[in-house]
Amino acid sequence: MYFDYTYLIFVVPAMLLALWAQSRVNSTFNKYSKVMSARRMTGREAARRILDANGLHNVQINRIAGNLTDHFDPRTNTVNLSESVYDNASVAAIGVAAHESGHAVQHAVGYSPMKLRAAIIPFTNIGSKLAVPLVLIGILFSFYELAYIGCIFYASLALFQLVTLPVEFNASNRALEALENTGILGNEELKGSKKVLSAAALTYVAALATALAQLLRLIVIVNGRRDRR
Protein backbone atom coordinates (compact mmCIF):
# COMPACT_ATOMS: atom_id res chain seq x y z
CA MET A 1 0.00 0.00 0.00
CA TYR A 2 1.33 3.43 -0.99
CA PHE A 3 1.64 5.93 1.86
CA ASP A 4 1.53 9.57 0.79
CA TYR A 5 3.84 11.16 3.35
CA THR A 6 3.45 14.56 1.70
CA TYR A 7 -0.19 14.70 2.80
CA LEU A 8 0.80 14.12 6.41
CA ILE A 9 3.68 16.62 6.31
CA PHE A 10 2.05 19.47 4.40
CA VAL A 11 -1.73 19.16 4.33
CA VAL A 12 -2.66 17.86 7.78
CA PRO A 13 -0.95 20.68 9.76
CA ALA A 14 -2.55 23.30 7.48
CA MET A 15 -5.97 21.68 7.88
CA LEU A 16 -5.60 21.65 11.66
CA LEU A 17 -4.62 25.33 11.61
CA ALA A 18 -7.66 26.16 9.46
CA LEU A 19 -10.00 24.23 11.76
CA TRP A 20 -8.56 25.95 14.82
CA ALA A 21 -8.85 29.39 13.19
CA GLN A 22 -12.49 28.81 12.22
CA SER A 23 -13.29 27.53 15.70
CA ARG A 24 -11.64 30.63 17.17
CA VAL A 25 -13.75 32.90 14.98
CA ASN A 26 -17.00 31.19 15.94
CA SER A 27 -16.25 31.10 19.66
CA THR A 28 -15.05 34.72 19.77
CA PHE A 29 -18.01 36.00 17.77
CA ASN A 30 -20.46 34.03 19.93
CA LYS A 31 -18.86 35.41 23.09
CA TYR A 32 -19.00 39.06 22.06
CA SER A 33 -22.36 38.76 20.33
CA LYS A 34 -23.74 38.57 23.85
CA VAL A 35 -22.12 41.90 24.78
CA MET A 36 -24.50 44.66 23.73
CA SER A 37 -23.13 48.09 22.86
CA ALA A 38 -24.03 50.91 25.21
CA ARG A 39 -25.58 52.91 22.37
CA ARG A 40 -27.59 49.92 21.13
CA MET A 41 -26.59 50.71 17.56
CA THR A 42 -27.13 47.78 15.18
CA GLY A 43 -24.63 46.49 12.66
CA ARG A 44 -26.58 48.13 9.84
CA GLU A 45 -26.70 51.47 11.64
CA ALA A 46 -22.99 51.34 12.43
CA ALA A 47 -22.14 50.55 8.81
CA ARG A 48 -24.34 53.42 7.61
CA ARG A 49 -22.67 55.82 10.02
CA ILE A 50 -19.19 54.86 8.86
CA LEU A 51 -20.09 54.96 5.17
CA ASP A 52 -21.73 58.36 5.47
CA ALA A 53 -18.75 59.69 7.46
CA ASN A 54 -16.59 58.80 4.46
CA GLY A 55 -18.97 60.35 1.94
CA LEU A 56 -20.17 56.97 0.65
CA HIS A 57 -23.87 57.79 0.71
CA ASN A 58 -24.37 55.81 -2.51
CA VAL A 59 -23.22 52.51 -0.99
CA GLN A 60 -26.26 50.43 -0.10
CA ILE A 61 -26.45 48.02 2.83
CA ASN A 62 -28.26 44.74 2.23
CA ARG A 63 -29.39 41.98 4.55
CA ILE A 64 -28.39 38.50 3.39
CA ALA A 65 -29.02 35.00 4.65
CA GLY A 66 -26.57 32.98 6.67
CA ASN A 67 -24.24 33.37 9.61
CA LEU A 68 -21.07 35.42 9.14
CA THR A 69 -21.60 35.53 5.39
CA ASP A 70 -20.91 39.28 5.47
CA HIS A 71 -19.01 40.78 2.54
CA PHE A 72 -18.55 43.88 0.43
CA ASP A 73 -19.35 43.42 -3.26
CA PRO A 74 -17.36 45.88 -5.42
CA ARG A 75 -19.38 44.90 -8.49
CA THR A 76 -22.60 46.28 -7.02
CA ASN A 77 -20.89 48.61 -4.52
CA THR A 78 -22.93 47.16 -1.66
CA VAL A 79 -22.19 46.14 1.91
CA ASN A 80 -23.95 42.84 2.58
CA LEU A 81 -24.55 41.93 6.22
CA SER A 82 -25.66 38.53 7.48
CA GLU A 83 -28.69 37.92 9.66
CA SER A 84 -26.44 37.60 12.72
CA VAL A 85 -25.00 41.09 12.11
CA TYR A 86 -27.59 43.26 10.36
CA ASP A 87 -29.99 43.92 13.27
CA ASN A 88 -27.61 42.90 16.04
CA ALA A 89 -26.47 45.60 18.48
CA SER A 90 -23.56 43.60 19.94
CA VAL A 91 -19.93 44.72 19.81
CA ALA A 92 -19.22 41.63 17.69
CA ALA A 93 -21.81 42.52 15.04
CA ILE A 94 -20.75 46.15 14.97
CA GLY A 95 -17.12 45.13 14.48
CA VAL A 96 -17.99 42.90 11.54
CA ALA A 97 -20.22 45.55 9.96
CA ALA A 98 -17.48 48.14 10.36
CA HIS A 99 -14.97 45.77 8.75
CA GLU A 100 -17.13 45.38 5.64
CA SER A 101 -17.58 49.15 5.55
CA GLY A 102 -13.79 49.36 5.64
CA HIS A 103 -13.72 47.39 2.40
CA ALA A 104 -16.15 49.87 0.86
CA VAL A 105 -13.81 52.70 1.84
CA GLN A 106 -10.85 50.81 0.34
CA HIS A 107 -12.77 50.46 -2.90
CA ALA A 108 -13.66 54.15 -2.94
CA VAL A 109 -10.10 55.37 -2.38
CA GLY A 110 -8.54 52.85 -4.77
CA TYR A 111 -6.58 50.91 -2.16
CA SER A 112 -3.75 49.30 -4.15
CA PRO A 113 -3.76 45.76 -2.65
CA MET A 114 -7.51 45.55 -3.24
CA LYS A 115 -7.05 46.58 -6.87
CA LEU A 116 -4.27 44.02 -7.26
CA ARG A 117 -6.44 41.29 -5.79
CA ALA A 118 -9.24 42.13 -8.18
CA ALA A 119 -6.81 42.11 -11.11
CA ILE A 120 -5.50 38.60 -10.43
CA ILE A 121 -8.90 37.00 -9.80
CA PRO A 122 -9.39 35.93 -13.46
CA PHE A 123 -6.00 34.18 -13.52
CA THR A 124 -6.70 32.66 -10.10
CA ASN A 125 -10.03 31.28 -11.29
CA ILE A 126 -8.31 29.63 -14.24
CA GLY A 127 -5.54 28.32 -12.03
CA SER A 128 -7.95 26.77 -9.54
CA LYS A 129 -9.53 24.72 -12.36
CA LEU A 130 -6.42 23.70 -14.29
CA ALA A 131 -3.67 23.33 -11.69
CA VAL A 132 -4.32 19.82 -10.37
CA PRO A 133 -5.40 18.31 -13.74
CA LEU A 134 -2.22 19.64 -15.38
CA VAL A 135 -0.08 18.18 -12.61
CA LEU A 136 -1.79 14.79 -12.85
CA ILE A 137 -1.60 14.65 -16.65
CA GLY A 138 2.03 15.74 -16.57
CA ILE A 139 2.94 13.00 -14.09
CA LEU A 140 0.86 10.34 -15.88
CA PHE A 141 2.52 10.96 -19.25
CA SER A 142 5.94 11.92 -17.80
CA PHE A 143 5.49 15.37 -19.27
CA TYR A 144 6.94 17.18 -16.30
CA GLU A 145 7.08 20.59 -17.94
CA LEU A 146 3.28 20.44 -18.01
CA ALA A 147 3.21 19.36 -14.36
CA TYR A 148 5.32 22.36 -13.40
CA ILE A 149 2.98 24.64 -15.32
CA GLY A 150 0.23 23.18 -13.16
CA CYS A 151 2.27 24.12 -10.08
CA ILE A 152 2.59 27.66 -11.38
CA PHE A 153 -1.16 27.83 -11.82
CA TYR A 154 -1.60 26.64 -8.25
CA ALA A 155 0.87 29.28 -7.09
CA SER A 156 -1.66 31.88 -8.24
CA LEU A 157 -3.98 30.66 -5.48
CA ALA A 158 -1.26 31.23 -2.90
CA LEU A 159 -0.58 34.67 -4.40
CA PHE A 160 -4.26 35.53 -4.09
CA GLN A 161 -4.27 34.55 -0.41
CA LEU A 162 -1.07 36.52 0.16
CA VAL A 163 -2.54 39.68 -1.37
CA THR A 164 -5.72 39.14 0.64
CA LEU A 165 -3.88 39.54 3.95
CA PRO A 166 -3.12 43.29 3.71
CA VAL A 167 -6.62 43.90 2.34
CA GLU A 168 -8.26 42.25 5.34
CA PHE A 169 -5.88 43.67 7.95
CA ASN A 170 -6.29 47.17 6.55
CA ALA A 171 -10.08 46.86 6.52
CA SER A 172 -10.01 45.88 10.20
CA ASN A 173 -7.72 48.79 11.06
CA ARG A 174 -10.03 51.18 9.22
CA ALA A 175 -13.00 49.67 11.04
CA LEU A 176 -11.54 50.08 14.51
CA GLU A 177 -10.39 53.62 13.76
CA ALA A 178 -13.83 54.54 12.44
CA LEU A 179 -15.61 53.02 15.43
CA GLU A 180 -13.43 55.08 17.75
CA ASN A 181 -13.56 58.34 15.80
CA THR A 182 -17.34 58.25 15.36
CA GLY A 183 -17.92 57.28 18.99
CA ILE A 184 -19.97 54.25 17.99
CA LEU A 185 -18.14 52.14 20.59
CA GLY A 186 -16.39 53.04 23.82
CA ASN A 187 -12.87 51.96 24.72
CA GLU A 188 -13.85 48.74 26.47
CA GLU A 189 -16.31 47.86 23.70
CA LEU A 190 -13.59 48.43 21.11
CA LYS A 191 -11.50 45.75 22.78
CA GLY A 192 -14.25 43.21 22.13
CA SER A 193 -14.62 44.20 18.48
CA LYS A 194 -10.85 44.03 18.05
CA LYS A 195 -10.76 40.48 19.40
CA VAL A 196 -13.48 39.45 16.95
CA LEU A 197 -11.66 40.99 13.98
CA SER A 198 -8.30 39.55 15.11
CA ALA A 199 -9.84 36.08 15.27
CA ALA A 200 -11.30 36.55 11.79
CA ALA A 201 -7.87 37.57 10.48
CA LEU A 202 -6.49 34.20 11.56
CA THR A 203 -8.71 32.48 9.00
CA TYR A 204 -6.97 34.37 6.20
CA VAL A 205 -3.56 33.44 7.61
CA ALA A 206 -4.72 29.82 7.72
CA ALA A 207 -5.96 30.04 4.13
CA LEU A 208 -2.54 31.26 3.01
CA ALA A 209 -0.81 28.50 4.97
CA THR A 210 -3.10 25.91 3.38
CA ALA A 211 -2.43 27.20 -0.14
CA LEU A 212 1.34 27.23 0.44
CA ALA A 213 1.24 23.73 1.95
CA GLN A 214 -0.65 22.36 -1.04
CA LEU A 215 1.73 24.10 -3.44
CA LEU A 216 4.80 22.66 -1.70
CA ARG A 217 3.17 19.23 -1.71
CA LEU A 218 2.58 19.38 -5.47
CA ILE A 219 6.17 20.47 -6.11
CA VAL A 220 7.57 17.69 -3.92
CA ILE A 221 5.40 15.09 -5.68
CA VAL A 222 6.38 16.29 -9.15
CA ASN A 223 10.08 16.43 -8.26
CA GLY A 224 9.92 12.97 -6.71
CA ARG A 225 8.27 11.41 -9.77
CA ARG A 226 10.68 13.18 -12.12
CA ASP A 227 13.72 11.95 -10.20
CA ARG A 228 12.45 8.37 -10.34
CA ARG A 229 12.18 8.36 -14.12
Instruction: Report how far apart, in Å, the C-alpha atoms of 176 and of each of 131, 162, 180 are.
Output: 38, 22, 6
Active site members? 100
The CA radius of gyration of the chain, in Å to the nearest whole number, is 21
* Closest among 37, 67, 221 to 144, alpha carbons compared: 221
CB 51 within 8 A of CB 79: yes
Residue 159 CA to residue 208 CA, distance in Å, equals 8
Angle between the 144-181 and 112-140 helix axes, to the nearest 10 degrees?
Answer: 160
Instruction: Report how far apart, in Å, the C-alpha atoms of 136 and of each of 142, 144, 158, 161 are.
Output: 10, 10, 19, 23
